[in-house]
């Protein structure tokens, strides 16, 4: 895989897009302007998450191809996603949630650290990526957005399902001499996506058409397809300009959704492969998983005094610091364990 890319920058930009979009919802500022401009075809957070899955499909396919076997591949994915996620659950449960509670009650004597719908249950009920508890006690009763303390976490389980998917098709030899079946799989998935989101027809496997992650799965699989055909799918600068213009026109005048996964994949993967930007500290994961609860916290503490731009600046500053600490203290130390299995597990 070509390492002369700006995927580090792309991940941060996509996380900021999600943060920006959620700020309107959580801060009670009404509908984000972008949604109105594009006739409610999409919103910025959706573009950001779909971009994440497109890029993830590209990178994870490459990760599988470089792995000696499925055990090492799976271990790499586990140490990347779970330690940061678990630490986020702990910080959300025992730091952010009590502060939100204190802002309303001016004491934490009755805060539900234990018991049903408590801080402890928030951790163990969400421990394996499936979000079974969305908040803690009644801490969001006086919030603008009451449905979730950390709504961004829901997408991590579909992400992990995508890892399993890549592992299974890899075992079938699709990364070697059987690329055509994967091309067919991608086409069928895109058909299910188009029928549902463009023509409002639910036709296809039940687990897909009932999933709220169908758009994300489609982007991930397209990103993986881009990796498999990366030598042939090369877009020059002029082509990318044309594709970007087409995307803007579809957003403005309609018809965006039917092309969205393809356009997002091309723009994210091809455009950010054209130049190189690398960061020593990868705070993108932290930005994504911490922004939502920090937005809930800032709403409780300072929302009365802030317009949307002041709200965004404070959120971005606090989330960036938290993301940096998460990377330094948790994510990076665990990432050093990625290669621990290499000398013990033979290539299969």
Question: What is the structure's pLDDT at 2?
Answer: 64
Using alpha carbons, select from 182, 160, 188, 167 the residue that is nearest to residue 61: 167
> Given this model, what pLDDT does residue 180 score?
85
What is the pTM assigned to this prediction? 0.94
Residues in the chain: 348
User: Is residue 39 within 8 Å of residue 29, measured between CB atoms?
Assistant: no
The span from the CA of 209 to the CA of 311, in Å, is 37
List alpha helices for the chain, DSSP H: 7-27, 33-37, 44-66, 70-91, 97-105, 119-124, 156-171, 179-197, 206-209, 214-228, 237-253, 256-265, 284-302, 308-326, 332-335
Structure tokens, 74: 């799976």
For the beta carbon of residue 218, count every other beta carbon within 10 angstroms: 29
Q: Do 217 and 211 meet the contact criterion of CB atoms below 8 Å apart?
A: yes
pLDDT score, position 347: 58
Residue pLDDT tens, the chain, 348 long: 567 899 999 999 999 999 999 999 999 999 898 888 888 899 999 999 999 999 999 999 999 988 878 888 999 999 999 999 999 999 999 999 999 999 999 999 999 999 999 999 999 999 999 999 999 999 999 999 999 999 999 999 999 999 999 999 888 877 766 788 888 999 999 999 999 988 889 988 888 988 999 999 999 999 999 998 887 777 888 888 999 999 999 998 989 999 999 999 999 999 999 899 999 999 999 999 999 999 999 999 998 889 999 999 999 999 999 999 999 999 999 999 888 876 666 555
284 C-beta neighbours (distance < 10 Å), count: 22
Task: Please compute Rg for the chain using Cα positions.
Answer: 21
Q: Rounded to whole angstroms, how far apart are CA atoms 79 and 68? A: 17
CA–CA separation, 280 and 60 (whole Å): 20
As a whole number of angstroms, the distance between CA 24 and CA 28 comes to: 6
Class of residue 184 by CB neighbours under 10 A (exposed 0-12, middle 13-18, buried 19+): exposed
Residue 23 makes CB contacts below 8 A (sequence gap 6+) with 29, 295, 308, 311, 312, 315
Cβ atoms of 139 and 97 within 8 Å: the answer is yes
142 to 26, 79, 101, 145: CA distances (angstroms):
12, 37, 10, 9
CB atoms within 10 A of CB 109: 5
User: b/e map of 308-339 (b: 16 or more CB within 10 Å)?
Assistant: beebbebbbebbbebbebbbeebbeeebeeee
* The pair of three-digit structure tokens given for residue 211, joined into one six-digit string: 């999933």
What is the longest distance spanned by two Cα atoms in the chain? 64
């Amino acid at each position: 895989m070509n390492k002369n890319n700006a995927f580090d920058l792309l991940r941060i930009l996509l996380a900021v897009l999600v943060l920006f979009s959620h700020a309107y919802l959580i801060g009670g500022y009404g509908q984000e302007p972008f949604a109105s401009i594009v006739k409610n075809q999409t919103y910025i957070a959706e573009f950001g998450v779909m971009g994440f899955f497109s890029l993830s499909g590209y990178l994870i396919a490459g990760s599988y191809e470089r792995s000696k076997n499925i055990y090492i591949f799976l271990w790499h994915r586990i140490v990347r996603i779970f330690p940061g996620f678990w630490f986020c659950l702990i910080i959300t449960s025992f730091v952010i949630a009590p502060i939100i509670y204190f802002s309303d009650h001016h004491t934490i004597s009755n805060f539900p650290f234990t018991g049903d719908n408590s801080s402890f249950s928030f951790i163990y009920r969400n421990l394996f990526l499936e979000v079974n508890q969305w908040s803690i006690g009644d801490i969001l009763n006086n919030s603008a957005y009451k449905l979730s303390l950390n709504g961004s976490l829901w997408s991590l389980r579909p992400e992990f399902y995508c890892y399993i998917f890549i592992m299974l098709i890899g075992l079938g030899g699709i990364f070697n001499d059987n690329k055509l079946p994967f091309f067919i799989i991608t086409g069928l998935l895109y058909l299910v996506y188009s029928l549902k989101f463009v023509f409002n027809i639910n036709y296809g496997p039940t687990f897909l058409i009932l999933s709220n992650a169908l758009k994300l799965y489609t982007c991930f699989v397209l990103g993986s397809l881009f990796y498999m055909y990366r030598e042939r799918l090369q877009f020059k600068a002029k082509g990318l300009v044309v594709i970007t213009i087409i995307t803007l026109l579809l957003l403005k005048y309609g018809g965006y959704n039917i092309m969205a996964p393809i356009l997002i994949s091309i723009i994210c993967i091809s455009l950010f492969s054209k130049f190189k930007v690398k960061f020593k500290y990868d705070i993108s994961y932290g930005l994504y998983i911490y922004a939502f609860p920090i937005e809930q916290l800032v709403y409780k503490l300072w929302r009365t005094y802030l317009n949307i731009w002041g709200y965004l600046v404070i959120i971005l500053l606090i989330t960036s610091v938290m993301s940096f600490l998460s990377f330094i203290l948790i994510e990076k130390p665990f990432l050093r364990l990625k290669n621990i299995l290499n000398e013990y597990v033979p290539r299969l």
